[in-house]
Structure formats: C-alpha cells, structure tokens
Amino acid sequence: MQLFTYRSDTQTRTARLIGLLGVDLMRAAHAYLQSHSLSAGEGDKPLPSLVDLARLGPDELLLVKESTDWVIQTSQEFDTTPQKEKIVFEFNKMTLLAPIPRPGKVIGIGGNYPEKAQANKPEYPTVFLKPSSGVIGDQQPVVIPKNAKHVACEVELAVVIGKKARNISKKDAYSVIAGFTAANDIGDRVLEKRTSQWTSGKMFDTFTPLGPVMVTPDEFDAACDKKLTACINDKPVQLGSLDQMFFNVSELISYLSTLTTLEPGDVILTGSPKTMNGEPNPVYKLKPGDTFEVGIEPFCSMCNTLIAESQAA
C-alpha cells in the first residue's frame, strides 16, 4: 500500500493513495465495519501515525487494505453524501505532510554510492544524524538560511522503522520496516566542511523533505534496480539506482542496530548517487525561487521550492 499523512482542518490524519484518490484510513475502516454490521468504534478518530500501522497485527493491516479497497469499489454509493467527502478526496488537492512528520531519529548514511574515482566498498558505512525538526513534506518550502553558502540537494531512499530493533541480523532486518519513502537530504557544501563532521551543514530547519507517500514493504523491493532521480528547475542533476548502494537496506539496519536501538518512527536515509551517466554529478548552487523534484520508483515525485529566510513566515 501507498500511505500518506495529510492535514485536515486542525487534524493530522493518515490515508492510502489509490490511483489519484486518497482514502482516509480510519473513516474508511469505520464505514466498512458499519456496512458489515460490525463494531465500528470511533470512526472519525485519526490514526496518530503511519508507524502505528507497523505495530498492528496481520488482521488489522488486512482491514486497512480491505476497507480502503471497499470504499473505492463502492464509492458511487457515497457520491452525494458528506460521508463520501470525508472519506475520499483528490490526492493532489490535499495539504500533505511528511509520512512521518516528526521522526524519533533521522540517521544519515554518507558515501554509500560509488564516485567516479572510487568504486571500492568501504569497510563501514559513514553515519551521521539530522534533527527531526528539519523534516517537511511535499510542496512545503525549503528555507535557505541567512548564513548559507552553497546549498545542494540529494535524492535518497528513506527507510521508516516500525518495530524496536537492537542487534538484529541482516536476514531479519526487513521484519522491522514500516515502509519506504523518498527523501531529499539537503545540505550546505561549505558549512559541511567546516569540521570533520557534516552536521553543521545539514541540520537546518526544512533541510529534510520526506514523501509524499510511504510504501509498505510488501509492495517495495529495495534490493532491485529502482531508479532515483533529482531535477532542479526541470534539469536532471542526479540519476542512479538502488542496486548501486555499497550497503543495502538489510545491511544498514543490521549495522545501525549494533550502534543504537532503532525505534518505531526512526528514519534512515540510505545515501545518494554520486555520478550521472558515469560522470560526477553537476555542480550547482540552489537559490531562492529554484524548484527541485526528487523521485524513486514507484513513489510519486516530491517537489519543493526554495525561499530565503526573510520570506519565511
């Protein structure tokens, strides 16, 4: 399933993307259970987070899929009712948030793709942290801070952890995944190099867009050659595929779980392609007014526009 988080009035709610439509998870489940004369509970109560789905058992996950499928299949029955308007809506008209609006930890991986002059797998992944306060969603503005020198973006596969994991094996790593989403690991190339650690160039507010959807593990194989793309003002600046990663998703989860306890809601950024058609990625410097779009098959593309700090509300 492709799932997402959206804002409705003052509520943060969760939904499933089916075609071009969004289906509210809790309202769909409520309507489905009512129609089958089953206990429906509080149908308008929003699911707190998509991570909560990973904590549910197989029966509850099946209910999520069956109820949202049922809503789409029987939607003609609701076409003129207020209930239909609350359950089903046009995806591109919603205010989207990041699938996980405030992760517990955002763990970045550097150097996980080969550069032109370096194709050997390193002994260990390079690990760094980004603050969860930098996470934003699709279509939300990225703010270039006043002290920025050279801002650049990086398309990455993000892994959302759904279950607690410590010292987990590679073969069991997939069992703790809630889903996958696209990420844009934005950083300032100059500020990153002030010290031996990169965090000073990567920790700004809005510098970690995630989304627009989270794909559940049963519908996404992170081991195959799915394409990653990044464009600035419609010009490609990154092209790559997941099979280029030195350390695959299972290896990263297993290794990171030896360093820290991975918890539901944590997000792992798995690294970004360094070459495009065999040559180093083009050098550019983002400025206010630029728009960048990142995507990973089969996710919808995520698009954000840059603004100056003086323009931010």
Mean of pLDDT values over 106-135: 92
Contact 113, 240 (CB under 8 A): yes
Domain 2-96 -> CATH class: mainly beta
pLDDT tens per residue across span 262-304: 999 999 999 999 999 889 999 999 999 999 999 998 778 999 9
Contact 109, 127 (CB under 8 A): yes
Mean of pLDDT values over 166-195: 95
Per cent of the chain over pLDDT 90 is 70
Give CA–CA dist 208/25, Å, rounded. 26
Does 82 have pLDDT greater than 50? no
Residue type, 107: I
Supply angle C-alpha 136, 229, 205, rounded to 5: 20
Query: Which candidate, 111, 100, 106, 123, places its Cα nearest to that of 48?
Result: 100
Domain ranges (residues) in the chain = 2-96, 98-311
Query: Which candidate, 100, 135, 47, 109, places its Cα nearest to that of 266?
Result: 100
Q: Residue 117: exposed, middle, or buried by beta-carbon count in 10 A (0-12, 13-18, 19+)?
A: exposed
pLDDT score of 78: 52
Region of 164 please: left (phi>0), alpha (psi -120 to 50) or beta.
Answer: beta
Per cent of the chain over pLDDT 70 is 91
pLDDT tens per residue across span 213-269: 999 998 898 878 899 999 999 999 999 999 999 999 999 999 999 999 999 999 999
The encoded tokens of residue 229 equal 């793309």
Give CA–CA dist 121/131, Å, rounded. 27
pLDDT tens per residue across span 130-148: 999 999 999 999 999 999 9
Region of 148 please: left (phi>0), alpha (psi -120 to 50) or beta.
Answer: beta
Query: Which candidate, 55, 33, 53, 51, places its Cα nearest to that of 42?
Result: 33
The CATH number that domain 98-311 falls under is 3.90.850.10
Evaluated on CA atoms 81, 82, 88, 93, the torsion sign reads: positive
